[in-house]
Amino acid sequence: MYREHDSIKELENGDLVIKYTEDDIEAAKKDEMLVLSEVLSDVDTYFVGEQYSLGNFSMGITLYNYYSDLAYTLDLDDVDKLEEGEEITLTAREPDEDDRAVIDQF
Protein backbone atom coordinates (compact mmCIF):
# COMPACT_ATOMS: atom_id res chain seq x y z
CA MET A 1 0.00 0.00 0.00
CA TYR A 2 1.28 3.42 -0.94
CA ARG A 3 -1.00 5.88 0.90
CA GLU A 4 -3.97 5.25 3.16
CA HIS A 5 -6.61 7.52 4.70
CA ASP A 6 -9.91 6.82 6.45
CA SER A 7 -11.96 6.25 3.28
CA ILE A 8 -9.39 5.78 0.53
CA LYS A 9 -6.28 3.74 -0.17
CA GLU A 10 -3.84 4.32 -2.98
CA LEU A 11 -2.12 1.08 -3.92
CA GLU A 12 1.45 0.86 -5.19
CA ASN A 13 0.21 0.27 -8.74
CA GLY A 14 -1.81 3.52 -8.54
CA ASP A 15 -5.25 1.91 -8.19
CA LEU A 16 -7.60 3.57 -5.70
CA VAL A 17 -9.78 1.62 -3.28
CA ILE A 18 -12.62 3.65 -1.77
CA LYS A 19 -14.99 2.68 1.04
CA TYR A 20 -16.94 5.35 2.86
CA THR A 21 -16.96 5.64 6.64
CA GLU A 22 -20.33 5.95 8.40
CA ASP A 23 -19.77 9.73 8.58
CA ASP A 24 -19.13 9.85 4.82
CA ILE A 25 -22.31 7.87 4.13
CA GLU A 26 -24.35 10.26 6.25
CA ALA A 27 -22.78 13.36 4.65
CA ALA A 28 -23.29 11.93 1.15
CA LYS A 29 -27.05 12.02 1.74
CA LYS A 30 -26.74 15.81 1.58
CA ASP A 31 -24.12 16.22 -1.18
CA GLU A 32 -22.73 13.02 -2.67
CA MET A 33 -20.27 14.63 -5.08
CA LEU A 34 -18.81 16.96 -2.44
CA VAL A 35 -18.08 14.01 -0.15
CA LEU A 36 -16.45 12.06 -2.97
CA SER A 37 -14.40 15.09 -3.99
CA GLU A 38 -13.13 15.49 -0.42
CA VAL A 39 -12.22 11.80 -0.16
CA LEU A 40 -10.37 11.87 -3.50
CA SER A 41 -8.45 15.01 -2.54
CA ASP A 42 -6.79 13.03 0.28
CA VAL A 43 -4.72 11.35 -2.45
CA ASP A 44 -4.39 14.39 -4.76
CA THR A 45 -7.08 13.12 -7.17
CA TYR A 46 -9.65 15.45 -8.70
CA PHE A 47 -12.50 15.52 -11.22
CA VAL A 48 -11.46 16.80 -14.66
CA GLY A 49 -13.75 17.59 -17.56
CA GLU A 50 -17.42 16.88 -17.99
CA GLN A 51 -19.52 13.76 -17.55
CA TYR A 52 -19.76 11.47 -20.58
CA SER A 53 -21.56 8.32 -21.62
CA LEU A 54 -19.94 4.98 -20.80
CA GLY A 55 -22.64 3.05 -22.64
CA ASN A 56 -26.39 2.90 -22.99
CA PHE A 57 -27.23 3.32 -19.33
CA SER A 58 -24.11 4.61 -17.60
CA MET A 59 -22.36 7.95 -17.22
CA GLY A 60 -18.76 8.47 -16.23
CA ILE A 61 -16.24 11.16 -15.42
CA THR A 62 -12.47 11.23 -15.59
CA LEU A 63 -10.43 11.64 -12.44
CA TYR A 64 -6.79 12.72 -12.43
CA ASN A 65 -4.09 12.27 -9.80
CA TYR A 66 -1.76 15.25 -10.05
CA TYR A 67 0.86 13.62 -7.85
CA SER A 68 1.26 10.37 -9.78
CA ASP A 69 0.09 11.61 -13.24
CA LEU A 70 -2.50 8.83 -13.49
CA ALA A 71 -6.09 8.95 -14.73
CA TYR A 72 -9.17 6.98 -13.69
CA THR A 73 -12.67 6.54 -15.09
CA LEU A 74 -15.40 6.73 -12.47
CA ASP A 75 -18.70 5.08 -13.38
CA LEU A 76 -21.19 7.37 -11.65
CA ASP A 77 -23.28 4.32 -10.71
CA ASP A 78 -20.44 3.45 -8.34
CA VAL A 79 -21.24 6.54 -6.26
CA ASP A 80 -24.46 4.79 -5.21
CA LYS A 81 -22.44 1.75 -4.16
CA LEU A 82 -20.29 3.94 -1.91
CA GLU A 83 -23.39 5.38 -0.28
CA GLU A 84 -24.54 1.82 0.45
CA GLY A 85 -21.26 1.10 2.27
CA GLU A 86 -19.71 -0.96 -0.53
CA GLU A 87 -16.08 -0.74 -1.60
CA ILE A 88 -15.10 0.28 -5.14
CA THR A 89 -11.77 0.10 -6.94
CA LEU A 90 -10.69 2.61 -9.57
CA THR A 91 -8.09 1.24 -11.96
CA ALA A 92 -5.17 3.55 -12.71
CA ARG A 93 -4.17 4.23 -16.29
CA GLU A 94 -1.86 6.53 -18.18
CA PRO A 95 -3.74 9.60 -19.45
CA ASP A 96 -4.44 9.42 -23.19
CA GLU A 97 -4.45 12.34 -25.65
CA ASP A 98 -8.06 13.22 -24.88
CA ASP A 99 -7.34 13.19 -21.14
CA ARG A 100 -4.30 15.42 -21.66
CA ALA A 101 -6.33 17.95 -23.62
CA VAL A 102 -8.76 18.27 -20.69
CA ILE A 103 -6.09 18.16 -17.97
CA ASP A 104 -4.08 20.91 -19.67
CA GLN A 105 -7.09 23.23 -19.37
CA PHE A 106 -6.82 23.14 -15.57
Model pLDDT for residues 27-58, shown as the tens digit of each residue: 999 999 999 999 999 999 999 999 999 987 89
**Alpha carbon 93 to its chain's center:** 13
CA distance 4 to 105: 29
Look at residues 27, 41, 24 and name the one whose alpha carbon lies nearest to residue 85. 24
SS3 state of residue 60: strand
Under a CB-based contact definition with an 8 Å cutoff, are residues 83 and 26 in contact? Answer: no
pTM of the model: 0.91
Mean pLDDT of the chain: 94
Domain limits of the chain? 3-103
